[in-house]
Amino acid sequence: MEKIWLYGTGGHAAVIADMILSMQCFEIAGFIDDNVQKQGKIFYKQARVFAPDEFLLESDRLHIKNIIFAIGNNVVRKKLAELYRDFNFPTIIHPTAIVGKFVKIGCGTVVMPYAILETEAVVGEHGIINNNAIIGHNSVIGAYCHIGGRVVLSGGTHIGKCCLVGVGASVPPLTVIGDYCKIGAGSVVSRNVPDHSFMFGNPARPINKLLGDE
């Protein structure tokens, strides 16, 4: 069985580790974290936590090039993907997820249990499709997005890069949401959303402009 590194030691990392263990698709080589308080300890009762520099040396020694960025922050995942671009980024899809014919899912993306991706949907690299999310047919989701649990994206929706769509939000057909947007939990989007917006409510209204940098 091939080995894989997980970058991160938070709750999201534990969920992805649990998926990998239950699916038996990889053996976890170790976890990586910048926090010196966590380094050298065992995370999730599975493997040691390495410092980034130490992990690079160990990866070369053991010839392990698979890595998943198990971090919920979209911008951080983007920066890590650029930093470690010479690694392999497997796509992790839980067996309970329903993935339609002609769906395209980018490298490094994680599709959580019971998510539904309808035919011809496209999901960019290093994304998160969380539990029970529904991605409608012909929808396009940009790179580094997090689509929260129980989100409903109707057919033909277009989501820009580095967006967060919060738990239980819904988006009507053919809606366009720009880059670096945040849609608050439970919100109902009723119109197109410009870049760097924070929308919340039913119907969703702009709260303020986000400060995320490209």
Mean pLDDT, the chain, as a whole number? 95
Helix (H) or strand (E) holding 207: strand 204-209
| Digit-coded pLDDT (tens) for 166-187 | 999 999 999 999 999 999 999 9
Residue 213: pLDDT band by 50, 70, 90 thresholds?
very low
Supply the pLDDT for residue 106: 98
Does 66 have pLDDT greater than 70? yes
- For residue 90, say if its preceding peptide bond is cis, omega within 30 degrees of 0: no
Supply the pLDDT for residue 152: 98
Where is pLDDT greater, at 148 or 46? 148
Distance separating alpha carbons of residues 184 and 166, to the nearest angstrom = 5
Residue 45: pLDDT band by 50, 70, 90 thresholds?
confident
Supply the pLDDT for residue 128: 98
Supply the pLDDT for residue 72: 95
DSSP H helical segments within the chain, as ranges? 11-23, 52-62, 74-83
Q: What is the mean pLDDT of residues 27-32?
A: 96
Does 160 have pLDDT greater than 50? yes
Q: What is the mean pLDDT of residues 113-139?
A: 98
Please give the biggest Cα pair distance in the chain. 54
Residue 212: pLDDT band by 50, 70, 90 thresholds?
very low
Supply the pLDDT for residue 209: 54
> 12, 63, 94, 137: which one is catalytic?
137
Distance separating alpha carbons of residues 214 and 204, to the nearest angstrom = 24
Share of the chain above pLDDT 70, in %: 97
Does 211 have pLDDT greater than 60? no
Distance separating alpha carbons of residues 21 and 141, to the nearest angstrom = 27
Find all residues with CB under 8 Å of 95, minimum gap 6, and list them.
23
Is 196 part of the annotated catalytic residue set?
no
E-state strands within 52-203 = 67-69, 92-93, 98-99, 104-105, 110-111, 116-117, 122-123, 128-129, 134-135, 140-141, 146-147, 152-153, 158-159, 164-165, 170-171, 176-177, 182-183, 197-201
Distance separating alpha carbons of residues 20 and 41, to the nearest angstrom = 20
Q: What is the mean pLDDT of residues 130-141?
A: 98
Does 84 have pLDDT greater than 80? yes
End-to-end Cα distance, the chain:
37
Does 83 have pLDDT greater than 60? yes
Q: What is the DSSP string of 17-38?
A: HHHHHHHTS-EEEEEE-S-TTT
Distance separating alpha carbons of residues 127 and 46, to the nearest angstrom = 24
Distance separating alpha carbons of residues 214 and 211, to the nearest angstrom = 10
Supply the pLDDT for residue 46: 86
Distance separating alpha carbons of residues 5 and 73, to the nearest angstrom = 18
- What the chain holds in terms of domains, given with CATH numbers, is 3-71 (3.40.50.720), 92-209 (2.160.10.10)
